[in-house]
Amino acid sequence: MSVRQLRDMRHNILFAMIFSLLALQAPAAPQDPSLRITPQPGAAESAVRIEASDTEGLDSLEIACKEVNSTWHSELSGAALTRTYMRTFSLQEIFPSLVGRAGSVRLDVTVRSTRGQTATTAIQIPLSQ
């Protein structure tokens, strides 16, 4: 083999190694689940709409209200894989002790994916009379 053939062979091996390393790079980490909470004005009772999604699946939803020292929890992963969740809640429905109260309350909402990733957000909601 000539020197040039050896140099070309070394060059090809180097490119093959670089290409192999690039192909073996770890995939990007999955995103956290998305979570959106929207107050529902005009309802007879104070209400919020909760929308959550995850590419792999949703596991659970938790809504905490410190003003009444209470937490509401729901399992979202049942027999069928749940990738999106949407529901409107009356605050008095999930926290009955809010009936008759005035002012506003803070809700801390957490959604967990089947991968264990979480998304949390908080919202201040005025109470309807």
Q: What is the CATH number of the domain that holds 65?
A: 2.60.40.10
Spell out the long-range contacts of 19-26 with Cβ–Cβ below 8 A and sequence spacing 24 or more: none
Residue 7, pLDDT score:
73
Which percentage of the chain shows pLDDT scores above 90?
45
37-66 pLDDT tens trace: 998 876 667 889 999 999 989 999 999 999
Domain assignment present for 70: yes
Tokens 């938790």 -> residue: 62
Tell me what the mean pLDDT of segment 97-116 comes to.
Answer: 91
C-beta of residue 122 within 8 angstroms of C-beta of residue 108: yes
Average pLDDT of every residue of the chain: 83
Res. 13 pLDDT band, cuts 50 70 90: confident
Q: Residue 64: what are its φ and ψ, rounded to 5°?
A: -115, 140
Domain assignment present for 39: yes
